[in-house]
Amino acid sequence: MDFKDKLIFLMNITQTSNKELAKGISVDPSLISLLRSGKRKQPQNVLHIKNMALFFAKRCNAGFQRNALSEMLGQISLRSDMPAELLANRIENWLKDNEAIVVQMIEGIEDSKRIKPLTENAQNHHNLPEISVPVSGNNTTFYYNEEGRRIAMQQMMKVIHKIDTPCSILIVTDDNLEWLLSDYMLSKQLQSDLMEILEKGFTLYQIMPAMNFLPRYTESLQFWLPMYSTGQMKVYYYPRIRDNLHRHSTIIVPEHVVQTSTSIGLGPSSHINLFSTDPELIKAYTEQFYEYLSLCRPALNAFSNPKDFIPCILDIFSRPGATIQMVEPLSVTTLPRELLERCITEVNDPVWKTTYQLYMDEIPHFEKRLTQETYIDICRLASADEVRSGKVFISSTYETSPDHPRYTPETYILHLKNIIRLMDQYENYYFLPSHEKERQNYNLIAIESGLALLIHTSDPPLLLEIQRPEMVLACREYLLRKAEKKGYDGIHKTKIRIMLEDLIQELQG
């Protein structure tokens, strides 16, 4: 859909006039008229889109409005109990035409700041009344449909909370999560419980769902990302095509409990839900899980300790294949030898000292790659005033200590001159400056040979090493669209070179 079609849809379901929207976002009504007619494209002022999204979110309170949004955006979580602020984020991303999988990964990491283990919530689960249901002699109970699945999940959480010694929890998520994601408070409650379980030292092994329906997959991914951010989940995927008709989800705590649910296709109902503490049944499901796991491959690894980031970053830059990255500030891969030597001398952190030495050793291999493979380098270009203020760290992948080396006008010029040299010497190297006013809180690197890194650079620090091919492709496509929209080759390369020379002159002045 074009921007004008999305705007018309939102204005129709909220019964908003041009005048009302213009007043709500502080613009002239003529601009809204131009946007609705398509004579003006998507606003370049991101504040206009943000204000629009918040305006519409506040006016979408009725159930039919949330259902219409849910269907249009393909996101089942956009229901009546989702707070307007979160709904505004979803609408904003839709209006911007952001690729869902990358944007929701970033938003999911941000959610980990807000989702904490809640003792009160956990206590609520401990105090749940025993549910009176028929229990067979082998301690197996069946529940039915979505309400039954909620009850089975509550029972599962009660059992896990009572386990004193941390152990492994085995999870298969192969059906849709409409029963969970359509209930905002329930999904946040379950996230909170899972975070508490991970805090206690449990390890979760998960086999991810198939990517047959991308909007549902990305919503499921966003639900799990706060748990991934702990670094205590091992995530896998089955690499072959799976039947999208018969689907199931299973949670197993070996030697304690098993809960499994089945559904058909993308249907909303979990028709049959089994909950059991029968030892033989738990053993059978555990063996079945590990047989399934043996056919799977790692989908992603999560690292929450910044010291573990360096091997992953060095690994991706040593792999062959066309590379595209969006980082802040200037890329560590383009640091000149002279500046690397300074960093090695000045930095106190032994990890960074070793890292800078490794990058200096890699310079010949990196430049050899540029003779054979495309390398697109999207970096936030600092202003001359920012550099002079001494607030710009020298090429780091996460928030560093106050004593980490920072650019001076002289050292920033050295780096810019090296970028110009690479542009002139290697036709496969493209530098694309970003002039975003607000600093982004993530770096994204994707390589054609099948690996991507998403690095959350502020608190909580997190690196996702993404290996699932469809997810890597989504990351590459996200970055390539950004690069193509701005323009980086041909005449654009010449203009960018002139821009860098102008900044050098300003810094010298």
Residue 501: which CATH number? Answer: 3.30.870
Q: In this predicted structure, what is the pLDDT of residue 253?
A: 97
Q: Is the pLDDT of residue 120 over 50?
A: no
Least confident of 149-158, 272-281, 367-376, 399-408: 399-408
Q: Is the dihedral of CA 421, 424, 428, 430 positive or negative?
A: positive
Name which residue leads in pLDDT, 355 or 334. Answer: 334
Same structural domain, 43 and 155: no
Tokens of 503: 């900044």
Using CA atoms, how far residue 437 sits from 87, 380, 383, 433, 440, in Å, is: 24, 9, 10, 12, 9
Q: Is the pLDDT of residue 433 over 70?
A: yes
**With 0-12 CB in 10 A as exposed, 13-18 as middle and 19+ as buried, what is 479?**
buried
Residue 400 confidence class, pLDDT cut points 50, 70, 90: low
Same structural domain, 69 and 218: no
Q: How many CA atoms lie within 13 A of 412 on its CB side?
A: 28
214-233: average pLDDT: 82
Least confident of 304-308, 421-425, 483-487: 304-308
Same structural domain, 412 and 325: yes
Across 84-93, b (16+ Cβ under 10 Å) vs e yields eeebbbbbbb
Report the percent of the chain where pLDDT is more than 90.
50
Domain membership of residue 215 as a residue range: 119-301
Flag whether 499 is in a domain. yes
User: Whole-angstrom Cα distance, residue 73 to residue 336?
Assistant: 46
Flag whether 112 is in a domain. no
Beta carbons within 8 Å of 39's beta carbon, 6+ residues apart: none
Structure pTM?
A: 0.81
Residue 430 confidence class, pLDDT cut points 50, 70, 90: very high
Q: Which residue, of 301, 325, 355, is where some domain finishes?
A: 301
Q: In this predicted structure, what is the pLDDT of residue 439?
A: 62
For 271-314, the three-class secondary structure string (H helix, E strand, C coil) is CEEEEECCHHHHHHHHHHHHHHHCCCEEEEEEECCHHHHHHHHH
Residue 145 confidence class, pLDDT cut points 50, 70, 90: confident
Q: Is the pLDDT of residue 295 over 80?
A: yes
Q: How many domains does the chain have?
A: 3
Nearest CA among 333, 356, 334, 336 for reference residue 344: 356
Q: Is the pLDDT of residue 121 over 60?
A: no
Flag whether 401 is in a domain. yes
Least confident of 26-35, 309-318, 413-422: 309-318
Name which residue leads in pLDDT, 119 or 304. Answer: 304
pLDDT digits (tens, 9 = 90+) for 86-117: 889 889 888 887 655 777 777 767 666 555 54
Same structural domain, 168 and 268: yes
Flag whether 317 is in a domain. yes
Least confident of 119-123, 311-315, 355-359, 370-374: 119-123
The DSSP symbol for 334 reads: G
Q: In this predicted structure, what is the pLDDT of residue 290?
A: 97
Find the CATH number of the domain harbouring 92. 1.10.260
Residue positions counted in the chain: 509
Residue 134 confidence class, pLDDT cut points 50, 70, 90: very low
Flag whether 102 is in a domain. no
Least confident of 14-23, 100-109, 241-250, 438-447: 100-109
Same structural domain, 336 and 435: yes
Find the CATH number of the domain harbouring 128. 3.30.870.10
Beta carbons within 8 Å of 498's beta carbon, 6+ residues apart: none
Q: In this predicted structure, what is the pLDDT of residue 130?
A: 47
Same structural domain, 263 and 167: yes
Flag whether 105 is in a domain. no
Name which residue leads in pLDDT, 210 or 33. Answer: 33
Q: Is the pLDDT of residue 248 over 80?
A: yes
Q: Is the pLDDT of residue 125 over 90?
A: no
Same structural domain, 139 and 277: yes
128-145: average pLDDT: 61
pLDDT digits (tens, 9 = 90+) for 50-73: 999 999 999 998 989 998 998 888
190-219: average pLDDT: 87
User: Whole-angstrom Cα distance, residue 261 to residue 158?
Assistant: 18
Q: Is the pLDDT of residue 6 over 70?
A: yes
Same structural domain, 314 and 287: no
Tokens of 428: 């496969």
Average pLDDT of the chain is: 86
- Between helix 84-96 and helix 63-73 the angle, nearest 10°, is 40
Flag whether 390 is in a domain. yes
Q: In this predicted structure, what is the pLDDT of residue 225?
A: 86
Least confident of 5-14, 56-65, 342-351, 418-427: 342-351
Other CB atoms within 10 A of residue 323 CB: 24
User: Whole-angstrom Cα distance, residue 193 to residue 159?
Assistant: 12
Same structural domain, 186 and 228: yes
Same structural domain, 145 and 275: yes
Q: Is the pLDDT of residue 195 over 60?
A: yes
Across 222-245, b (16+ Cβ under 10 Å) vs e yields bbbbbbbbbbbbbbbbbeeeeeee
Q: In this predicted structure, what is the pLDDT of residue 133?
A: 40
Q: Which residue, of 243, 277, 301, is where some domain finishes?
A: 301
Q: How many CA atoms lie within 13 A of 452 on its CB side?
A: 26
Beta carbons within 8 Å of 497's beta carbon, 6+ residues apart: 420, 423, 424
Residue 127 confidence class, pLDDT cut points 50, 70, 90: very low
- Nearest 10 degrees: Cα torsion 495, 496, 501, 504: 150
Q: In this predicted structure, what is the pLDDT of residue 10?
A: 95
Q: Is the pLDDT of residue 281 over 80?
A: yes
Same structural domain, 286 and 313: no
Residue type at 127?
A: N
Q: Is the pLDDT of residue 124 over 50?
A: no
Same structural domain, 54 and 185: no
User: Whole-angstrom Cα distance, residue 323 to residue 315?
Assistant: 13
